[in-house]
Amino acid sequence: MNPLTEIRLIFLREVRKSLRSVKGIILAVLAFLASGVAALICIYAESGARDDMGVQDTESFYDLQEKAMTSAGAAPDLAHYMARVPLSLLLFLKFTIWIGPGIVAILGFDTVASDIQHRAVRYWTVRTRRWTYMVGKFLGLWATVSAVTLALNVMAALAVMIKGYISFGAFFTWGLRFWLVSALIVSTWCSVAIFISAQFKTPLLSLLATFGAFFLLWLPGIVGWVMRLGEAVKTKSHLGELKWFEYLYPNGYDDLLLNPHPAKVLTGVGACIVFMIVFVGGGAALFERRDV
């Protein structure tokens, strides 16, 4: 078969399996419930910020935020751009990318491991190339998690629009951009999950290894963030640029992907692509040599 056909078959099978599974349904329900609460908290946080500034009009709120950022030392063009990022949706984006690794781990830990355990992988690998099998598995997991985050973002954006904090146009422009950012970041976690799942034939061990690996990736991110926060407090300025080791933690890419400067956005996109190539490609290379 054509490699693209093989990838498509694996991809469609993976998406159907995830959406029909009891695990997937329960996880989706829990994600919606948690996200509903998170959306309300984000709206409440923006409402409190508006009350503190003594304004309810959105444009006035943006202007006051821009003045505050400029006074804190931010460049005028950056302050103008960042002040107009919907606060509620920005906070919800932080929540989405925070729970993203958990959703990926629970949906993806047995993606390959369960096929190896039950010998189903032998059925696929005699009919498809092993690398197309891995790519199809990765794309299926990525599409499933991205579909969940899309639904969550639509729900949150609708709530913010009904509250009157964003316009109908901003619902599509900012809503789409926030979802694309979360989808790109989720892709990195999916690639790591697929890589680890392909190394085990016992799903439980794969689950433990996945959470362990995600924790190890989290460590350089939190260390770098604490260091930059300390520097910002001393200099009374905004957080500086990511330190080199923080690129090991994909959730730190959100500021790059939301930056108004194209070079920064491309840096974030490039980092996500490198993650996907390294882990999906590396996983496929190891899987080629594995006795299944």
58 has pLDDT over 90: no
Residue whose pair of structure tokens reads 């993650």 in the numeric block: 275
Place of tokens 């926060």: 229
Place of tokens 């899309």: 150
pLDDT at 113 over 80: yes
Say how far apart CA 183 and CA 190 lie, in whole Å: 10
Q: Shortest CA distance to 79 belongs to which of 90, 63, 91, 93?
A: 63
Going from the C-alpha of 252 to that of each of 97, 221, 245, 261, the distances in angstroms are 9, 7, 11, 17
The one-letter amino acid at 137: K
Could you tell me the two tokens for 41? Answer: 């908290």
pLDDT interval class at 291 (50, 70, 90)? low
46 band by pLDDT with thresholds 50, 70 and 90: confident
pTM metric for this prediction: 0.91
- Half-sphere exposure in the Cβ direction for 130 (13 Å, CA): 18
- 233-284 per-position pLDDT tens digit: 787 666 778 888 889 999 999 989 988 889 999 999 999 999 999 999 999 8
7 SS3 class: helix
Could you tell me if 265 and 279 are in contact, meaning their C-beta atoms sit under 8 angstroms apart?
no
Rounded CA-CA distance 156/134 in Å is 33
**pLDDT, tens digit (0-9, with 9 covering 90-100), for 67-102:** 877 776 666 777 778 778 888 998 999 999 999 999
